[in-house]
A and B are shown apart, each in its own frame.
Chain A
Amino acid sequence: MTEFLFFIEVVVAGLLAGTMYSLVALGFVLIYKASSTFNFAQGAMVFFAVLAFVGFMELGLPFVVAFFVTILLMGLVGFCTERLVLKPLRTQSEDTLLMATIGLGFVLEGLAQATWGVEVRRLDLGIGDFPIQWIIDSTGLFISALDLTAGFVAAFLIIALALLFKYTKMGLGLRAVADDPGAASSIGIPLGNIMLLVWTAAGIVALVAGMMWGARAGVQFALVDLALKALPVLIIGGFSSIPGAIIGGLIIGATEKVLEVYVGPYFGGAIEGWAPYVMAILFLLWRPEGLFGEKIIRRV
């Protein structure tokens, strides 16, 4: 019985950690949907956002004010990205855009560290990374309060974004731009505004993801690499699907924990770091477009 309970605990912890991957992956999906580009700068955006947030707090701003100021800042980053990077490259191929996002990533990383310094910061959200007592009492499961909060926050963001895309003018415009930018602008959809909104939304998602990660692991440069774990999540979920990002994140989170606990010892442990990539490769062989991605049909 305790064996089984322990297994459940591992899975639940994995799922909740998975929601954090989902959060990061969500930022990638937003940009991918709008411009068919994998935004390599997303990891840097996570780092940039949360470092700025902590920086504002250190300057003495209250939590809520710092949060909104950071959102404004991410809006500004989105605006500059649109005007200085995306707009001049609009007629270029997707590969060019991809390279541009890699460059953007370096710029953001550099800017963030030049402004706020390189030392690791602590971020205290007031939510402890320890098991919740009443859940232990009622079920015997050890579930971290931070994990649980991250789960709820991710769920909220996801529902909000899904509704936004499905039911609003902007969502419809965004889907149109993703499909054919030329046609979209010919019927009056302003490409620039759509891109600005998308990058700002991706910036907000990056901030929230960064806060969750930062609270656990400290606000540090390693967040950039951690964010790249979204890559296997997206390969499994599909690059253009919001539900895909969620399910992909949960799958990666749960399996990597289960593998770590039950298979890890045979490899000398710490397989969490690379197991998701192995899964992604296996997944590519089976279903290259991901669980929820659009099927790629090529006529030869």
Chain B
Amino acid sequence: MMQARNFPIGDPILEVRNISLSFGGVKAITNTSFNVLRHEIRAIIGPNGAGKSSLLNCINGIYKPQEGTITLKNEVLDKISPNIVARKGISRTFQNLALFKRMSVLDNVLVGRQLHMSANFLQVAFQTPQARREERENRERCEEIVEFLEIAHIRDTPVGRLPYGLQKKVELGRALATEAEILLLDEPMAGMNVEEKREMCRFILKVNDEFGTTMVLIEHDMGVVMDISDNVVVLDYGKVIGDGPPDEVRSDQAVIDAYLGVAHD
């Protein structure tokens, strides 16, 4: 699977350094550090409550860690909010789906193009050539994404009416539309059946291979994690207890004890 990638794994693109986050007296993340390499698929695993989503929320700018720094392409992300992080090239999906339920599939994806729209109200009102070209390009791009994810047949359906598995795909599509360099996927396969999971894996690998997008994903299905990720970070009680390629992490005693399972007598 690793042979001859279109985008070989490169230098660190995202560096998390000594992050600590607490809510009142509750420590969610304690002194956590790891790197995400350019073009890799990086999994974050750990038991429930280990701080995985909190970590993603820190990277995304929703939470501000009390200590430590997050560096994106040698720029420290400081005093920022999610929309600014998005502008800098990090997009995400959410654990409990955050879609625009009243809008159609295509419109949801189109909203993801916000950052690539520059025509102002007057230009749109008078349909200047520039506004028309931009509109056409954005629509074409969205049609491509919808084709790519094989959801073209439902493009005009309001998202709220779709089954869960398809909604997850639409959310991925919207994140793709931003053309972010890094995608944060929070449990992209939660609640899916085996068939749907396999399909989602295929898309994640395809996106990574075709666009070179760096992926950071949280996942519980160990089979999936071991299959698709290049490197794995293991969290337990807000601390990193393992970091490395899947095979290495799988045989690490601390990881096995904390998460992968100890035989119960």
Chain A contacts to B: CB under 8 angstroms: 163-164, 167-170, 172-173, 175-176, 179-180, 182-191, 294
Q: Flag if A189 contacts B117 (CB, 8 Å).
A: no
Q: B115's contact among A163, A170, A188, by CB below 8 Å, is which?
A: A188
A169 CA / B135 CA spacing, docked (Å): 10
Q: B103's contact among A164, A169, A179, A188, by CB below 8 Å, is which?
A: A179
Q: Flag if B86 contacts A179 (CB, 8 Å).
A: no
Q: Flag if A173 contacts B83 (CB, 8 Å).
A: no
Q: Flag if B83 contacts A164 (CB, 8 Å).
A: no
Q: List residues of chain B with CB within 8 A of the CB of A185.
A: 81-83, 86
Q: A183's contact among B81, B99, B115, by CB below 8 Å, is which?
A: B99
Q: List residues of chain A with CB within 8 A of the CB of B177.
A: 187
Q: B99's contact among A163, A180, A188, A191, by CB below 8 Å, is which?
A: A180
With known contacts A172-B107, A179-B101, A180-B99, A186–B114 Cβ distance under 8 A: no
Q: Flag if B114 contacts A187 (CB, 8 Å).
A: yes
Q: C-beta contact mask, B136-171 vs A, less than 8 Å → 1, else 0?
A: 000000000000000000000000000000000000
Q: Flag if B100 contacts A187 (CB, 8 Å).
A: no
Q: B102's contact among A167, A179, A183, A188, by CB below 8 Å, is which?
A: A179
Q: Flag if A294 contacts B102 (CB, 8 Å).
A: yes
A191 CA / B82 CA spacing, docked (Å): 10
Q: Flag if A168 contacts B112 (CB, 8 Å).
A: no
Q: Flag if B82 contacts A164 (CB, 8 Å).
A: no
Which single residue of chain A is at the shortest CB-CB distance from B138?
A169
Q: List residues of chain B with CB within 8 A of the CB of A184.
A: 100, 111
Q: C-beta contact mask, B169-198 vs A, less than 8 Å → 1, else 0?
A: 000001101100000000000000000000
Nearest 6 CB-CB pairings of A with B: A188-B86, A183-B98, A179-B100, A169-B117, A185-B82, A188-B115
In the assembled complex, 10 residue pairs joining A and B whose CB atoms fall closer than 8 Å, in A order, are A169-B118, A175-B100, A176-B114, A179-B102, A182-B94, A184-B111, A186-B82, A186-B83, A188-B114, A189-B83
- Cβ distance A38 to chain B, nearest Cβ, rounded Å: 19
Q: List residues of chain B with CB within 8 A of the CB of A186.
A: 60, 82-83, 86, 91-92, 94, 98
A167 CA / B111 CA spacing, docked (Å): 12
Q: Flag if B110 contacts A172 (CB, 8 Å).
A: yes
Which single residue of chain B is at the shortest CB-CB distance from A160?
B125
Q: Flag if B114 contacts A183 (CB, 8 Å).
A: no
With known contacts A186-B60, A186-B82, A173–B98 Cβ distance under 8 A: no
Q: B174's contact among A164, A170, A175, A187, by CB below 8 Å, is which?
A: A187
Q: List residues of chain A with CB within 8 A of the CB of B120.
A: 168
A82 CA / B23 CA spacing, docked (Å): 26
- Cβ distance B125 to chain A, nearest Cβ, rounded Å: 7
Q: A176's contact among B62, B94, B100, by CB below 8 Å, is which?
A: B100
Chain B contacts to A: CB under 8 angstroms: 60, 62, 81-83, 86-87, 91-92, 94, 98-103, 107, 110-112, 114-115, 117-121, 124-125, 174-175, 177-178
- Cβ distance B27 to chain A, nearest Cβ, rounded Å: 21
- Cβ distance A39 to chain B, nearest Cβ, rounded Å: 21
Q: List residues of chain B with CB within 8 A of the CB of A163.
A: 125
Q: List residues of chain B with CB within 8 A of the CB of A168.
A: 119-121, 124
Q: List residues of chain A with CB within 8 A of the CB of B124.
A: 167-169
Q: Flag if A187 contacts B121 (CB, 8 Å).
A: no
With known contacts A172-B110, A179-B103, A183-B99, A188–B94 Cβ distance under 8 A: no
A169 CA / B118 CA spacing, docked (Å): 8
Which single residue of chain B is at the shortest CB-CB distance from A176?
B111
- Cβ distance B160 to chain A, nearest Cβ, rounded Å: 9
Q: List residues of chain B with CB within 8 A of the CB of A173.
A: 111, 114
A189 CA / B116 CA spacing, docked (Å): 11
With known contacts A169-B117, A170-B121, A182-B94, A187–B111 Cβ distance under 8 A: yes
- Cβ distance B151 to chain A, nearest Cβ, rounded Å: 18
Q: B83's contact among A169, A180, A188, by CB below 8 Å, is which?
A: A188
- Cβ distance A195 to chain B, nearest Cβ, rounded Å: 12
Among B87, B100, B111, B175, chain A packs the most CB atoms within 10 A around the CB of B111
Among A176, A182, A186, A189, chain B packs the most CB atoms within 10 A around the CB of A186
Q: List residues of chain B with CB within 8 A of the CB of A170.
A: 121
Q: Flag if B114 contacts A172 (CB, 8 Å).
A: yes
Which single residue of chain A is at the shortest CB-CB distance from B134?
A169
A169 CA / B121 CA spacing, docked (Å): 8
Which single residue of chain B is at the shortest CB-CB distance from A163?
B125
Which single residue of chain A is at the shortest CB-CB distance from B86?
A188
A163 CA / B118 CA spacing, docked (Å): 17
A168 CA / B127 CA spacing, docked (Å): 11
- Cβ distance A257 to chain B, nearest Cβ, rounded Å: 35
- Cβ distance B96 to chain A, nearest Cβ, rounded Å: 10
- Cβ distance B204 to chain A, nearest Cβ, rounded Å: 18
Q: List residues of chain A with CB within 8 A of the CB of B60.
A: 186
Which single residue of chain B is at the shortest CB-CB distance from A294?
B102
Q: List residues of chain B with CB within 8 A of the CB of A190.
A: 83
- Cβ distance A2 to chain B, nearest Cβ, rounded Å: 46
A168 CA / B119 CA spacing, docked (Å): 8
Q: Flag if A188 contacts B119 (CB, 8 Å).
A: no
- Cβ distance A160 to chain B, nearest Cβ, rounded Å: 8
A187 CA / B101 CA spacing, docked (Å): 16
With known contacts A172-B110, A172-B111, A176-B111, A187–B86 Cβ distance under 8 A: yes
